[in-house]
Amino acid sequence: MEKIAEGFDVFVHDGAKAFGAVRQLRHNEIVVYIENGGDFEVPLSAVKDVHDEKVVLDPGKLDARLKEAIRRAHTGEDPRIP
């Protein structure tokens, strides 16, 4: 697995649209900025994969507040803009 670095995009499924980016690395967690949601602390145990400057999270290991923020990440976007 590739080493996580600040700025990597974050996903819940490989191939899905990114919902945020790694803002900070800590000993046992990463801080992820989620669009329209702010910063969230995510335990490293919830990281499923890291490759090609992408962090893929395991949705089964995320708390409800974080899942809701992910769901709302792109709600402010104009759907007519690709």
Domain residue spans of the chain: 9-72
Which H or E run contains 38? strand 38-43
Q: What is the band of 66 on the pLDDT scale with cuts at 50, 70, 90?
A: very high
CA 50 – CA 65 distance, rounded (Å): 23
How far is Cα of residue 9 from the mean position of the Cα atoms in its chain? 7
Give domain 9-72's CATH number out of 3.40.5, 1.10.3470, 2.60.120, 2.30.30.
Answer: 2.30.30
Work out the percent of the chain whose per-residue pLDDT is above 70.
89
50 — pLDDT class (breaks 50, 70, 90): very high
The confidence band for 17, taking pLDDT boundaries of 50, 70 and 90, is: confident
Residues in the chain: 82
**pLDDT, position 78:** 47
48: confidence class by pLDDT, cuts 50, 70, 90: very high
